[in-house]
């Protein structure tokens, strides 16, 4: 494949995945806000987070690590600009978490063919993303003035174990979708 063709495919796939992440976030905003699963973990976060992680993983696995990272960073920034992030100052933490899961997916999905090792990569990526957010979000919220302690507590929980759950669901869905995606791309 010519270098120009590769660049065009990379840009197209990255833009499409970024649009899909934003679409998932917009759909999430349409869900009822009161549908709580546990604590501040809501149906909205479950569906939106799972879809976002699915797309980030597929972007990295199919178009390369920088596609997944770019998609994760740009979608985090755009979500804040569109008012879909609860506190815009936590965007760097969200972008970092997205980059981490994209990098893990890229490594395991492109280097290994076995579903078992890819599944281990999903677990590792989900755990590291969760750890990054669990550590960085409360730290960022703690240094920001004028954020009520109750909101800090709610957001700290929202960006902790629920991130692992949504990353795992998105990753398991990616394990199912990725082989079909590869077959589809192979024909082009």
Bridge partners, residue 153, by sequence: none
Give the angle subtended at the CA of 104 by the CAs of 99 and 110, to the nearest 5°.
Answer: 120
16-29: average pLDDT? 89
What are the residue ranges spanned by the domains of the chain?
A: 3-187
Of the pLDDT bands very low, low, confident and very high (cuts 50, 70, 90), residue 34 is: low
SS3 8: helix
pLDDT of residue 17: 92
In terms of C-beta density within 10 A (0-12 exposed, 13-18 middle, 19 or more buried), how is residue 9 classed? middle
Of the pLDDT bands very low, low, confident and very high (cuts 50, 70, 90), residue 1 is: low
Range list of H helices, the chain:
3-30, 43-63, 65-81, 91-111, 115-143, 149-158, 161-186
Of the pLDDT bands very low, low, confident and very high (cuts 50, 70, 90), residue 64 is: very high
Contact 165, 133 (CB under 8 A): no
Reading the block at residue 184, the tokens are 């589809």
26-47: average pLDDT? 76
Of the pLDDT bands very low, low, confident and very high (cuts 50, 70, 90), residue 86 is: confident
Residue 135 vs residues 33, 68, 138, 151, 175: alpha-carbon distances, Å: 26, 22, 6, 16, 27
pTM score, whole prediction? 0.91
pLDDT of residue 181: 85
Bigger pLDDT: 32 vs 154: 154
| CA neighbours closer than 13 Å in the CB half-sphere of residue 43 | 8
pLDDT of residue 85: 79
For 100-134, write each residue's pLDDT tens digit: 999 999 999 999 888 999 999 999 999 999 999 99
How far is C-alpha 141 from the chain's CA centre? 20
Bigger pLDDT: 108 vs 1: 108
Rounded Cα gap, residues 179 and 1, in angstroms = 21
* Domain boundaries 3-187, corresponding CATH code: 1.10.1760.20
Rounded Cα gap, residues 70 and 149, in angstroms = 33
pLDDT of residue 185: 67
Nearest to 101 by CA among 78, 133, 79, 77: 133
Of the pLDDT bands very low, low, confident and very high (cuts 50, 70, 90), residue 26 is: confident
pLDDT of residue 53: 96
Rounded Cα gap, residues 92 and 183, in angstroms = 35
66-80: average pLDDT? 92
């Amino acid at each position: 494949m010519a270098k120009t063709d590769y660049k065009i495919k990379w840009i197209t796939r990255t833009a499409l995945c970024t649009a899909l992440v934003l679409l998932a976030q917009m759909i999430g905003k349409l869900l009822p806000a009161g549908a709580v699963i546990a604590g501040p973990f809501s149906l909205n976060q479950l569906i939106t987070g799972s879809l976002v992680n699915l797309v980030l993983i597929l972007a990295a696995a199919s178009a390369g690590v920088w596609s997944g990272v770019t998609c994760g960073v740009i979608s985090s920034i755009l979500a804040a600009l569109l008012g879909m992030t609860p506190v815009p100052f936590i965007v760097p933490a969200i972008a970092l978490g997205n980059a981490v899961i994209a990098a893990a997916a890229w490594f395991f999905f492109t280097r290994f063919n076995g579903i078992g090792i890819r599944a281990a990569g999903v677990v590792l990526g989900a755990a590291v993303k969760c750890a990054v957010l669990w550590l960085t979000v409360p730290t960022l919220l703690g240094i920001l003035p004028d954020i009520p302690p109750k909101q800090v507590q709610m957001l700290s929980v929202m960006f902790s174990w629920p991130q692992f759950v949504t990353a795992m669901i998105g990753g398991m869905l990616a394990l199912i979708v990725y082989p079909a995606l590869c077959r589809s791309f192979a024909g082009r």
